Chain A
Amino acid sequence: MMERASALLFAAFVSFAAIAALSGGKKQRIRWFIAFSAVAIVGPGILHREAWPFSRWQLFAYRYHPPVEGVTVRAVDAAGIERDIDRRAWEPFSNLDLHTWIKLHWKDLSGEERDTAARYLLDLVNRARDDALAGRQVGVYGRYFGTFAAPLHFVFRPIWLDAASTPPLRFAVLRIYHDSWDVEERARDSRNWHRELIYEGPK
């Protein structure tokens, strides 16, 4: 329902813009466009309904409830050593979107679907590793601007900076973990957190 309403809202917005543009600067048409834009921009916020690009801007409006939960993907190389993955390796996925997708949907995929997804992700990771070893740009986001590319919402530090910091062997397997912890317990002792393997593959 909200999907259709949001689509209609945007369609009406661009229609009003087009009518105002074609009116040759008639003030009344522009007034209609402005009035519609004002309602479209402010309305979803007041009603607390999401209708992007007319958003309710529900940014960080949460109360903390333990535990914190997250997903970590790590790769195992041909020698059986498990390693962290440079977040740029996932591009054109953004780290946030890929990890949230895994967190929300991985459990609902069939075994075959998980392997298909893991095979694709493993290929991305190995390609990124090859690029890092060869001194090429890792990932696609920095292809034009390098380190000056527009940052993502959540910022991560690159870890495969050169051949020395890049794993020397190709990866054979991905491991996906579900991490959880209570922030106060972890603040008392940094080892107080739980990691559970939810996938290893592709088979």
Chain B
Amino acid sequence: VRSLLLWWDRFWFDGGSAVQLALLRIVTAVVSLWVLLSRDPAATSGFPPVFWKYVGRATRWRYMEFPGHLELERILQDAAILALFGVLLGVAPRVCAFVASLLLYHFAPYEAILWTSSPYVRGYDTPVIALAALAASPCGDVWALLEPRRAGLREPWEYAWPGRIVQVLLVCMYFFPGYSKLLDVGWGWASAENMRAWLLAFNQGSEATPFTAPGLWLAAHPALCEATGIGTLAFELSFPFVLFNRRARWVYIPGALLFHLGIYFMMNITVLYAIFLVVFIDRIPFGWWAVHLLTPLIGNGTLFCPGAE
């Protein structure tokens, strides 16, 4: 039991740095702002009541969403944007991260709430959880405008665990789709017939689909369809390796980007959570960027937080 606890502690607390946590804070804020400013969730509150007819009471209470309060929702949306700018710039970043997490949870289902209470793959999955973790961590010790100055940095473990939480979340986003395919369909999911059928279904329907030729080409090659199915299951089910093996990241992270690129061209589907794969690019690249590129520009954070490092 003791060695298990030691392993648990090492898993979550090893290898943190203030710069890396600040980068997680900035990436989370930038992605959240990008998504929020590319949508208008508050506007859903102003839809005629008929669109809300099938939204259950429990769902409304779960997300605290009550139609017909457009002005209030606009104020809350502006508050979420302000809070995210606070996180980005490091102006009371922990308080802002907590407020932003709650508000993004509130706004996340707005695009989808009319028919489902599970708004996944709409851009807020990672930010809601990452922001709550950032709120509980010293994410503004460097590269922050208004964080109280400290005489020095904290112990490395304090900076390590929020990135680990995001890594675990991302691993689930790849592993559980594979697990779901096996639970709901079985190994037959990867069959050439099933792959071909979905590729056809996604490329035969709409005249406004940007790419149809790549998906239809793949559908015409049964062996490639089967290889795609088997490869997808193998990739998803083995993705947890990236948590425990740094070398595996050199294969899986570029592999994930290729995977999403393939899905984009074959099925016209995007997933925004893939951006957060940058949390796996730790140590060498982030450290290298921070030391060689960013430090000359912003002084290793000391421009914003004198005496921090």
Contact = CB atoms under 8 A, between A and B. Distances in A.
Contacts of A169: none
Interface in A134-181: 140-145, 149-157, 159, 179, 181
Interface residues of B, number: 91
A3 B117 contact: yes
Nearest to B112: A97
B109 A68 contact: no
B136 interface: yes
A41 B185 contact: no
B111 A145 contact: no
Given A45-B176, A55-B125, A183 B98 contact: no
Contacts of A76: none
B84 to A, nearest CB: 13
B177 A60 contact: yes
Interface residues of A, number: 83
B127 to A, nearest CB: 9
A78 interface: no
Interface string A33-55: 11001100110011010101101
A39 to B, nearest CB: 11
B53 interface: yes
Contacts of A100: 115-116
A80 interface: no
Interface string A49-77: 01011011111111110001010100000
A59 B118 CA distance: 12
Interface in B204-248: 204-210, 219
A53 B129 contact: yes
The binding surface of chain B is classed by DSSP as helix
Contacts of A155: 209-210, 264, 268-270
Given A41-B169, A42-B168, A3 B37 contact: no
Given A3-B62, A17-B136, A57 B54 contact: no
Contact of A150 (B39, B108, B183, B268): B39
Nearest to B220: A187
B188 interface: yes
Contacts of B86: none
A198 interface: no
Contact of B180 (A59, A94, A193): A59
B224 to A, nearest CB: 16
A141 B176 CA distance: 30
Contacts of A70: 205
Interface in A9-28: 10, 13-14, 17-18, 20-21, 25, 27
Nearest to B31: A150
Interface in B94-144: 94, 98, 101-102, 105, 108-109, 111-112, 114-125, 128-129, 132-133, 135-136, 138
B61 A7 contact: yes
B269 A154 contact: yes
Contacts of B278: none
B34 interface: yes
Interface string B141-183: 0000000000000100110010011001100110111011101
Contacts of A186: 200, 204
A87 interface: yes
A104 interface: yes
B197 A183 contact: yes
Contacts of A117: 48, 50-51
Contact of A105 (B54, B109, B125, B184): B54
Contact of A60 (B47, B61, B181): B181
Contacts of A82: none
12 contacts: A30-B161, A42-B172, A46-B179, A52-B108, A55-B125, A64-B194, A97-B111, A113-B50, A113-B53, A155-B269, A156-B208, A157-B209
Interface of A: 3-4, 6-7, 10, 13-14, 17-18, 20-21, 25, 27, 30-31, 33-34, 37-38, 41-42, 45-46, 48, 50, 52-53, 55-64, 68, 70, 72, 84, 86-87, 91-94, 97-98, 100-101, 104-105, 108-109, 113, 116-117, 120, 140-145, 149-157, 159, 179, 181, 183-184, 186-187, 190, 193
Given A33-B136, A53-B125, A156-B206, 13 more contacts: A3-B61, A7-B62, A17-B135, A33-B133, A37-B129, A52-B119, A62-B185, A86-B208, A92-B41, A145-B37, A152-B270, A155-B269, A187-B204
